[in-house]
Amino acid sequence: MVFLLFPFIDPGLGMQKPQDLVPVMATPNGTLVHPVYFLLVGIPGLGPNIHFWLAFPLCFMYALATLGNLAIVLIIRVERRLHEPMYLFLAMLSTIDLVLSSVTMPKMASLFLTGIQEIGFNVCLAQMFLIHALSAMELAVLLAMAFDRFVAICHPLWHASVLTGPTVAKIGLAALTRGFVFFFPLPFILKRLSYCQTHTVTHSFCLHQDIMKLSCTDTMVSVVYGLFIIFSVLGVDSLFIGLCYILILKTVLELSSLGAALKAFNTCISHLCAVLVFYVPLIGLSVVRRLGGPTSLLHVIMANIYLLPPVVNPVVYGAKTKEIRSWILHMFSQGGR
């Protein structure tokens, strides 16, 4: 999503293969030319042997992300006492992470294991749309969770009346709608461009900026729309998440008891971890890209930021949320008998 203007670009790549170019439409500026497929690099700077062995931990990460997020969704679904705003938002977050990991990791594992780099032009655009739209939905849910913590800590008497079941459902629908509406035009904007130069995508999956840079025609509309999304999605959500935590911190510091302050702030730890997992790789990727230099371990980690939240979030919430942790321990104890 917001990562669309901050991809890792390795200028030393030279993995292009001969491509079939297909004229698709005549326009006033000439005929649009699209490749049959793009070529995915994998992790820039690493050879096929290293890619092959990295496929196994990647498969483990995918299994962990799938089982962890699915477990959280099912626990919240069957445990009626968890039908509260905080846990309902967590179920939304886990559902998004479940889909996001399925959009990126299987194709990436196939690339590492088989070395087949090709991804169809339309398939690449569809993957790009899903990655960015799902990331926007995840950011909206993180904002909703920050608002939930703000109301619970700063205005506890209002919490039950403000965040009712229908309100939570409407917030979830709004997050889904915004992610779809904002990013639905992107594939069509990119299809209005011609791709007559290199067709190598410098990631293990397709991102907006990465595809746009492959065009040999004017990309002004794509650039402007990308900036619009950054300011209207990342900018607005980041502003309100920060504002919520400033007000939470102000309220916590005004509490007379240190124990009460720590207890109140402890309810925000899991959400803060999720926010950091979302933002730190984004900021790090931007810094790494601007510093340039040869491929390093830092480049490798930052270039695959989409893998982190779906894997880390269920671990964080499973460890820090007492109700979910107790339910999982209970299931294990029942299974051991």
* Domain harbouring 108, CATH code: 1.20.1070.10
Residue 78 within a domain: yes
Rounded to whole angstroms, how far apart are CA atoms 130 and 207?
A: 10
**255 is a domain residue:** yes
- Decide if pLDDT at 319 tops 90: no
Answer yes or no: is 10 within a domain: no
Q: Residue 239, exposed/middle/buried by CB under 10 A (0-12, 13-18, 19+)? A: exposed
Average pLDDT score over residue span 271-275: 86
66-85 pLDDT, tens digit each: 999 999 999 999 888 888 99
How far is C-alpha 50 from the geometric centre of its chain's CA atoms?
25
Share of the chain above pLDDT 90, in %: 36
Q: Which domain holds residue 102?
A: 37-335
User: Is residue 129 in a domain?
Assistant: yes
Q: What is the pLDDT of residue 22?
A: 53
Is 13 within a domain? no
Alpha-carbon distance of 287 to 305, in angstroms, equals: 14
**Residue whose tokens read 């007379």:** 256
User: How many whole angstroms separate alpha carbon 60 and alpha carbon 62?
Assistant: 5
pLDDT confidence of residue 255: 78
Asked if residue 28 belongs to a domain, the reply is: no
Question: Is residue 95 situated within a structural domain?
Answer: yes
At residue 7 the predicted structure's pLDDT band, cuts being 50, 70 and 90, is very low
- Asked if residues 330 and 35 have their Cβ atoms less than 8 Å apart, the reply is no
Phi, psi of 31 (to 5 degrees): -90, 130
Residue showing tokens 């309810």: 267
Indicate the number of domains in the chain.
1
Q: What is the pLDDT of residues 106-163, one digit of tens each?
A: 999 999 898 888 999 999 999 999 999 999 999 999 999 999 999 999 998 899 899 9
Cα separation, 143 vs 320, whole angstroms: 19
Q: Is the residue at 106 inside a domain?
A: yes
